[in-house]
Structure 1
């Protein structure tokens, strides 16, 4: 404990950097609290290092409390908005280029199935397709392949 109190500024900066690393690398910026805590620990450590704050545990506690609260008040809405942004773009992969011949009639109800990669996929199509038609996968959803006739 004496090692930490003698080097409190450095210990706070190390803890702040570790909290930021955990937030960014492990949690993927999913919890705002660790980000705010990491920033306040880092700021308190820097201020203690430059003798702007007294190097004591009580000062560190109050400084981190106030800085975390201030950062939360300032950054909560922008960070929350950043977390809520979603990318709805379709991912294109080799899987989407899969072509095969139908063994059953396919429509938009998903009654036909196709075994691929050890999974029985439901097949759906916007246009009714008959068995024996060469099709390609145009869209995929959980457990469902949407297919269209090849040109």
Structure 2
């Protein structure tokens, strides 16, 4: 315990970095509590290291309490908004590069199917395609592959 109190600034900075690593790497920024605490510990340790705060346990506790509270009030809404942003763009997956030759005619009705990865997929196309046409998958919906001529 004496080692920790003699090196309080360094101990606080190490604990702050550990809390930040846990928040980002393990929890994936899902909770902000460790983020605020880690930043607070890091800031308090730095202030003590530069002799702007006294290196006592009481000062460390009060400083962390105040800095954590201030950080949570200031950063809560921006971080919450950042979490709620969604990317509306289409996700390209391995299906997007899939190409094959049609065994039957395909149109927008989706009456033709194609077996891929153990699933019977309905095939649809914006423009009618005849059997024997080489196609590639351009879009996928639940149980449906949209294809176009290659």
Bucket of the pairwise TM-score, normalised by the shorter protein: 0.7 to 0.9
**Other-structure match for 1:30:** 30
Distance in 1 separating the partners of 2:13 and 2:110 = 57
Partners of 1:78 and 1:121 in 2: how far apart?
Answer: 45
SS of corresponding position for 2:21: helix
Matched residue SS, 1:148: strand
Does residue 1:144 correspond to 2:143, yes or no? yes
Q: Which moved more, 1:75-84 or 1:122-131?
A: 122-131
Structure 1 residues 102, 5: closer, same or farther in 2, change over 3 A?
same
Which runs of no fewer than 5 residues in structure 2 stay unpaired? Answer: none
The SS at the match of 2:10 is helix
Q: CA deviation at 1:58?
A: 2.4
Distance 2:50 2:131 in 1: 77
Q: Which whole-Å deviations, capped at 9, do the CAs of 1:99-134 have from their partners, x for residues lacking one?
A: 223446666676755333x34153242548678353
1:21 matches 2:14: no
Aligned 8 A contact 1:111 1:122 in 2? no
Task: Provide the TM-score with structure 2 as the length reference.
Answer: 0.77
Shift of 1:74: 0.6
The 1:101/1:56 distance shift into structure 2, 3 A limit, reads: same
Instruction: Specify the SS of the correspondent of 1:63.
Output: helix
Deviates more, 1:118-127 or 1:39-48: 118-127
Q: RMSD value over aligned CA atoms?
A: 2.9
The answer to whether residue 100 in structure 2 is matched with residue 95 in structure 1 is no
Cα deviation for residue 147 of structure 1 reads: 1.8
How far is the alpha carbon of 1:56 from its aligned partner? 2.2
